[in-house]
Amino acid sequence: MKKSLAEEKRDFLFKTIYGETLEEMFIEDDEDKMFEIAELAGLSNYDNSGTFFILPVKGLDAYNLYRITGSGKLGFDIEELGCIDLKDTIIFDKVGNCKWKKYKKDYNLLKDTVDVLKARYNFNGLYHFTDFSNLKNIFEDGYLRSRNECEYSGISFIDGAASSVMSHTAGYVKDCVRFYYRPKTPTLYVNEGIKLQCYINNPHIPIPVYLVFDEELIYLDTTWFTDRNAGCTDVNIDNDAHFFNNIKWDKVFNGEYYIKEDKNIMQAELLSRVPVSLDYLKKIVFRCEIDKERATNLFGYDDRYYANIDFFSEKNNRHTPCRPEHENNFISYYKIAYEKPNSLKVKLYFQKEWIDYETDIIIKDKKGEIIKTSKFNRGICKNMDKPFLIETELNGFNEKWHKLEVYLNGILSVEESLKRYR
């Protein structure tokens, strides 16, 4: 059985410090090691993120704290963080999250620059955008992890990045969790939303969600700064206040989309060398109320949920023209009503004209088996007197109907339990 990434890191740490892994220690019949092995084996010696490790100091009633960075794809690096007293210091909380942290030496200077960004540009946090379908794994794990770590550990995710871009992005960048300083980045403009059928297989983020993190990430000693998109060949990277202060912030927040240099600088990034705990997550921003409601139905109420289309691309405005490969659409509102016996009336309201999209309304039973399908597209529906609305009756409603799902060009966009309509 393949070991977890945390177990691989532990083996690497033990091999480096003791010359052998914990399992190899158990194999040896060495009485001098038995007490040490028992203590090592009995200690819950790493946190949930698989980053911080505690090991006893031989011959002393003390422990060392280590931090191991790296995704496994490019190996690991060990940092010794010093001796700790477990009697007086809480390193891991009751659920296994590490509470230890260290700020950069020039924290105060960084804080001064951040205060200027807030006053001048309304900076309010660090932005990570992802697809709605990735939320389940993120929420269950409790951390944001790097691309390389997800790939190495077999964590599936909707990937909105073009292979042509990732092919020239440095490996150490892909080992980091990446954030922007602003919403509405050029990359999101290209990737956001459900594409037309002829472009649906292009890399994109069908149902984009912004995860907005606390500014504290800027001050942690585990983060770096870039002066433009980290995938650029001419990117500069550093981690001190002087570099951070000299990023071209006016272009980051007010750059012109049509100027290539500005586009790259608008996407200046913060890179975290370690997984980022959701303890730092301040807001979860959806495009519309139905995405927010869907999250509430699936994951429960969270006062960090917001719906605000202004965080997203201008192309979401139905009157804003864009190139066909950038065109997008989504269901902005829906209504289900039980108006007569054995029938449900369904109304789907679209942000843009739906005729160029294939819409499937699917009814499933409790086992997930499909009971009924209704399909809408240009070939089937000739009447376009309501270009932003699909209105239909679903007959045969009974106790077996458990869930309604709506797919737009094959992308799951609505999930609704039918229990309340009985």
**The domain that contains 351 carries what CATH number?**
2.60.40.1930
Between 94 and 40, the higher pLDDT residue: 94
pLDDT band at 166 (very low <50, low <70, confident <90, very high): low
Instruction: Report the phi/psi class of residue 193: left, alpha or beta, with left for phi > 0 and alpha for psi in -120 to 50.
Output: left
For residue 84, give the H/E element and its range. strand 77-84
Same domain for 130 and 236?
yes
Selected residue with higher pLDDT from 241 and 14? 241
In a domain, 76, yes or no: yes
Residues 160 and 56 in one domain: no
3-class secondary-structure state, position 390: strand
Asked if 31 and 68 sit in the same domain, the reply is yes
Question: pLDDT at residue 41 above 60?
Answer: no
Shared domain for 214 and 139, answered yes or no, is yes
- Is residue 254 a part of any domain in this protein? yes
pLDDT tier, 30 (very low <50, low <70, confident <90, very high otherwise): low
Would you say residue 161 has pLDDT above 80?
no
Same domain, 288 and 229: yes
Q: Is residue 93 part of a domain?
A: no
Quote the domain boundaries for residue 32: 5-84
Task: Return the top range by mean pLDDT from 93-102, 150-159, 160-169, 372-381.
Answer: 93-102
Strands 208-213 and 281-286: antiparallel
Confidence of residue 164 (pLDDT cuts 50, 70, 90): low
Whether 25 contacts 33, CB under 8 Å: yes
53 and 110 in a single domain? The answer is: no
| Residue 92 resides in a domain | no
Query: Is residue 324 domain-resident?
Result: no
**Which of 99-108, 266-275, 295-304, 383-392 is predicted with the least confidence, judged by mean pLDDT?**
383-392
Verify that 250 and 156 share a domain, yes or no. yes
At residue 265, the pLDDT reads: 96
Mean pLDDT of the chain: 90
- Residue 322 falls inside a structural domain: no
The total of structural domains in the chain comes to 3
- Do 165 and 247 lie in one domain? The reply is yes
What does the alpha-carbon distance between residue 208 and residue 330 come to, in Å, rounded to a whole number? 11
The confidence score (pLDDT) of residue 212 equals: 99
Predicted model pTM? 0.92
Residue 133 has pLDDT above 80, yes or no: yes
147 and 13 within one domain? no
The H-or-E segment that residue 15 falls in is helix 5-18
**Structural domain includes residue 260:** yes
Residues 274 and 363 in one domain: no
Q: Is the pLDDT of residue 38 over 70?
A: no
Residue pair 158/204 in contact by the 8 Å Cβ criterion? no
For residue 383, give every residue at least 6 positions away whose Cβ sits within 8 Å of its Cβ, in sequence order, or none: none
71 touches 175 (CB < 8 A): yes
Percent of the chain at pLDDT exceeding 90: 68
